Structure 1
Amino acid sequence: MVAPDPFLPQPYRVERRRRELVGAVTLELAPLVGARPDFAPGQFNMLYVFGVGEVAISLSGDAERGTTFVHTVRNVGAVSGALTRLEVGASVGVRGPFGRGWPLTGAEGADLLLVAGGLGLAPLRPALYAILARRERYGRVLIMVGSRSPEDILYRRELEHWRRRPDLEVLLTVDHADADWHGHVGVVPALIPHAGLDPARTLALVCGPEVMMRFAANALLAAGIGPGRIHLSMERNMKCAVGQCGHCQFGPFFVCKDGPVLGLDRIGGILAVPEI
């Protein structure tokens, strides 16, 4: 079978659409021709809205189940806004999957800490699905999720389901609480010093706004976790998705090709510079 041209969007159809938050929806995209390609947790697709443009969106579904690509999209620009307005049956172009994902194979036997800020839970969700499918291969599994407010918590129903599992720890925190909120209040990196992590066993997967990831990385380092055990999903303005155009260059790395998941041991010095 000939591999599809990485520069040519393939035709897909919106199979399902679910509103998640104000301005954020989850789309399930089914191929019009052939089968959905396999993907690894942490990879992304380029989604093309005809007549509008193309944007990189992380995959947020189960890599081992289903026949569709699942993407959770927030309206933050022309293309992402157009995606959030697509209805069931609409056509969309898809290129991908692209990039390097979460290092789950090398994580077997380790304790796993997943740290998500805002919509950063979406790229981490496929990793969690994969971890739970082989739960016996890992040690302690802890998820920390931070949101601006209780109304902004992504996948709220699924998080509640995960909280009921005895083999999974879920910590939620919000920046601004209302009278009905009885959980943690504050930014998600503030949870890290109190989590009782074993530095020698813990592997951290982090995704969210870059400033949040910078503070989370610093908190993890302060907890004794080495930079080689901290992995972050970086976001840049990706165009070609194959490391040729240079739009997503991050120091010596191309986020689309070398990432989006990169180890702190590789990018720590660059991440510390807010302007890059």
Structure 2
Amino acid sequence: MTPALFRVRRRSEEYAGTFTLDIQHKEGTPLPRFEPGQFNMLYAFGCGEVPISMSGKAEDSGGYVHTIRTHGLVTQSLERLREGDLLGVRGPFGQGWPMHKADGKDVLIVAGGLGLAPLRPVIYSLLSGAQTCRSLRLFYGARRPQEMLYTDELRSWGAQIQQVLSVDHADDAWSGAIGVITGPLAGTEIDCDNTIVFLCGPEVMMRFCIQTLTGKGISDSAIYLSMERNMKCATGHCGHCQWGPQFVCKDGPVFDYGSVKQWFNIRAL
């Protein structure tokens, strides 16, 4: 429960109000490997702590990477950090994406907005060959072209994986799809018996994506999603993130849809 001291190694601005911190242990101590989909509790001194998903490479023992949207006092304080500044870290916590189930499968990654951040380690892992999937496709939607994460990487990934990028509001330079990501998703061919889906984004977006995927024949148990709830202790003791009989912090944040379907379909639970 006691945060370890970390130092900001690098800081980058994704777009207004969203930034990425690359942090390392203050003493340079090698870090334990995390599982894609896990999160840390980041502590801003004098303000409190927030749960933020890992968004870097799992095999990087030198540091952790977190992409953060400014929303509230703690994230505003984290936004003010610069290279060399200190913060507290607890973690890694939670259950991640079931990477072993990607072996030999068609992997469909569906992300909305900031939801690409927890899925970025999945892409790193699959492109590195840590798991051997049959194919890898990315469907990523954002409000505007300027609000897409990791644009340089998206361009480089385009040479290695099939990508469908979509925005709600396009500008004259935009050449991708326009509209919600469920449109392109509905029009794609899927081998339902050999596909696994990793899904993360706003809950309303995930709800419609699940309807689209199950309507095409994907089984509930083949869809994995990452949930966000008000996590405080990250160890299942405080009860803030209880979701039905489970705790998002220790039983998730990644769940297979089949196991949480009854809870997911209750709005605002």
> Which category describes the TM-score, using the shorter chain as reference length?
over 0.9
Give the drift of 1:269: 1.6
Distance (whole Å) between structure 1 residues aligned to residue 61 and residue 5 of structure 2: 18
Task: Tell me the equivalent position of 1:178.
Answer: 171
TM score, norm. by length of structure 1: 0.95
Distance (whole Å) between structure 2 residues aligned to residue 178 and residue 231 of structure 1: 32
Matched, 1:21 2:18: no
What are the within-5 Å matches in structure 2 for residues 219-234 of structure 1? 219-234=212-227
Contact 2:103 2:131 in 1 (8 A): no
Task: Return the match for 1:198 from 181, 191, 198.
Answer: 191
Percent identity over paired residues? 47
| One-letter amino acid matched to 1:134 | G
Task: Return the match for 1:156 from 151, 158, 161.
Answer: 151
Distance (whole Å) between structure 1 residues aligned to residue 101 and residue 169 of structure 2: 37
| One-letter amino acid matched to 1:14 | V
Distance (whole Å) between structure 2 residues aligned to residue 240 and residue 96 of structure 1: 11
| One-letter amino acid matched to 1:116 | A
RMSD: 1.1
Task: Return the match for 1:118 from 79, 97, 113.
Answer: 113
Task: Tell me the equivalent position of 1:100.
Answer: 95
Q: How many residues align?
A: 268
Distance (whole Å) between structure 2 residues aligned to residue 264 and residue 217 of structure 1: 9
Relative to structure 1, the CA distance from residue 114 to residue 17 in structure 2 (aligned partners, 3 Å threshold; closer, same or farther) is: same
Task: Tell me the equivalent position of 2:231.
Answer: 238
Task: Tell me the equivalent position of 1:266.
Answer: 259
Distance (whole Å) between structure 2 residues aligned to residue 242 and residue 133 of structure 1: 31
Give the drift of 1:223: 1.1
SS in 2 for 1:200: helix
Matched, 1:146 2:137: no
Contact 2:30 2:61 in 1 (8 A): no
| One-letter amino acid matched to 1:221 | T
TM score, norm. by length of structure 2: 0.97
Task: Tell me the equivalent position of 1:41.
Answer: 36
Relative to structure 1, the CA distance from residue 135 to residue 30 in structure 2 (aligned partners, 3 Å threshold; closer, same or farther) is: closer
Unaligned runs of 5+ in 1: 1-6
Give the drift of 1:65: 2.7
Distance (whole Å) between structure 2 residues aligned to residue 43 and residue 150 of structure 1: 27
Task: Tell me the equivalent position of 1:10.
Answer: 4
Give the drift of 1:189: 1.9
Give the drift of 1:135: 7.1
SS in 2 for 1:137: coil
Q: Does 261-270 or 134-143 show the bigger shift?
A: 134-143
Give the drift of 1:275: 1.9
Deviations, residues 51-104 of structure 1 (Å, cap 9, x unaligned): 011000000000013510100111011111211111111100000000000001
Task: Tell me the equivalent position of 2:80.
Answer: 85
Give the drift of 1:192: 1.5
| One-letter amino acid matched to 1:264 | Y
SS in 2 for 1:164: coil
Give the drift of 1:222: 0.6
Q: Does 79-88 or 133-142 show the bigger shift?
A: 133-142
